[in-house]
Structures are given as structure tokens and as C-alpha cells.
Amino acid sequence: MNSLRIFFIGGLTSYRALFHWLSPWILVPTFLLTPLFQIFLFVYIGRTAGISDDRFFLIGNAVVNAAVPCLFAMGNTIGGERNTGTLPLLIASPAKRVPLFLGRALPVIVNGFLVAVFALITGSLLLRVDIPPATWGGIAVAIAACSISCTGLGLLGAAVALRVRETAVMSNIVLGILIVFAGVNVPVGAMPGWMQVVAGWLPMTHGIRATHDLAAGAALTDVAGTLLAELGLGALYAGLGLALLRWFEYESRARATLDTA
């Protein structure tokens, strides 16, 4: 029972406590405006170059923005504790770590999902991109899968925060890698072989591909395998993140780095 409370109530409370972007002055420009600017930029580049249709750039750039909260907010679940001086209290608490950290992922997943959905809906309306209403349900599932898998990667970043002071730099680099490799603006099939291999192990790649297929009329069952691959990657990264958190927690006690890393 207590683990459930830590998962749901604790997760939401820590999200409110630690995610400093939850202010209108940061939230609106970061989560609502920036994704639109990114979409417009690449849609117009695409139109000028005549290399693909608007829908391709709209979907890729809208969905990848789910990664912003998933990477940054998740990384901040440990980095934020260090900044507020609450990290020793968290480590010295008897709370079970799996519900504690997975609970922190839940609001982040919802945040990422809402950012991408807003960007996709608003972008399609402003750019007059036709996405059939019947496909929206499936697309929402694909975006949710992307948010979940990306938060898994964010959890890995959170673990690293037990060893390094600043995670925002790392999150920025990971976001850049996703934009380049995950089929956001260049179809994965058009990339060199080694890039395709890297893309296959990244969150977002499979989810974005599934979203393209769904928008083109594919049924959810047609992309189930792709979405399962996306969720599987998320589970893999989350598992690695939890294992790394456990190891780094022990190391921080041995090396006395809780206050100093």
C-alpha cells in the first residue's frame, strides 16, 4: 500500500517540488511555443527543398518534443534533490527505490505526451496538414509509447546525476542525438547503415515510424510490433536506470559524493 502511495502521490509531489519549469513563464515558451517554432522551421525547409511533404516534418518534430520533459524533468529528479539539499534525506529514507523513482516517471510521461499532442494538433491546424480524425486514437497510443520509452532513457540520466552535478548538458546532447538519428527530419531508411543501427536502439525511432504509418492509414494492429519495440526499449533503459541508481547510491555512500559530486 505504501509503495502505491509513494508511486502515485510521492511521484506527483516530487514532480511539483523539483521541476522548476512548472512556471507559466518557462512552461509556455518551452513546451508550447518552442515545439511550434521547430515544426515551422523544418516544414518550411522541407517545402523549400521539396524533399518531403509537410506531414512528415510535422509528425517527426511534434513527437520528438515529448523528449524535452522526459529527459530534462527525469534527469532533474536526482539533480533537483542535490540542488535543494534533500538528496541525503532521500537516500537516508527507508522508501523502496523502485516505486520511488518509477513514480517520479509517471507525471513526466504525461507531461511529454501532452507536449507532443499539443504540438501535433496545433501544428496541423496552423499548417493545414490533413491528419484524418480516425487516426488520432492510434497516434495518441504511439505518442504515449514514445513518452514512456524516452522517460526510461531519462531515468538513466537521473542515475548519472548521482555522479555528476549537472544533467541538463547531457540531456541537451541526448535530445540532439534523437533529433538527428530518430527519423525526425530524415527517414531512417535514408541514413547510412551505422546510423540506422544506432537509430534502432534509440527511443522515439520506432514510435515516430509507427506514427507516420498510422497517419497514413495503417491500423493500430499493423504497428503493434513497432510500438512493442518502442516500449521494450523504454523498459530496457528504465531497467538500466534503476540498476545504475542502485549502484551509484551504494557508491555515493562509499565515496562520500552525495554532497559533492
Q: How many residues does the chain have?
A: 261
Q: Which span sits near another protein by CB under 8 A: 48-56, 125-133, 196-204, 253-261?
A: 253-261
Does 18 contact another protein by CB under 8 A? yes
Does 165 contact another protein by CB under 8 A? no
Nearer to another protein, 17 or 236 (CB): 17
Contacting another protein (CB under 8 A), which of 36, 66, 73, 90? 90
Does 98 contact another protein by CB under 8 A? no
Contacting another protein (CB under 8 A), which of 86, 127, 177, 198? 86
Q: Under 8 Å CB-to-CB from 155, ≥6 apart: which residues?
A: 74, 101, 105, 237, 238, 241, 242, 245
Please list, residue by residue across 25-62, b when 16 or more beta carbons sit within 10 angstroms of its beta carbon and e when fewer do.
Answer: eeeeebbeeebbebbbebbeebeeeeebebbbbbbbbb
Does 45 contact another protein by CB under 8 A? no
Does 24 contact another protein by CB under 8 A? no
Contacting another protein (CB under 8 A), which of 33, 53, 93, 190? 93
Q: Which span sits near another protein by CB under 8 A: 27-35, 221-229, 239-247, 249-257?
A: 249-257
**CB-count burial class (<10 Å; 0-12, 13-18, 19+) for 118:** middle
**CB-count burial class (<10 Å; 0-12, 13-18, 19+) for 191:** middle
Does 258 contact another protein by CB under 8 A? yes
Contacting another protein (CB under 8 A), which of 27, 32, 95, 177? 95
CA distance 11 to 93: 15
Nearer to another protein, 48 or 260 (CB): 260
Where do runs of H (alpha helix) occur along 128-223?
136-160, 168-181, 193-200, 205-215
Nearer to another protein, 79 or 152 (CB): 79
Which residues of the chain form contacts with another protein (CB under 8 A)?
1-2, 5-6, 9-10, 13-14, 16-18, 20, 22, 84-86, 88-95, 100, 253-256, 258
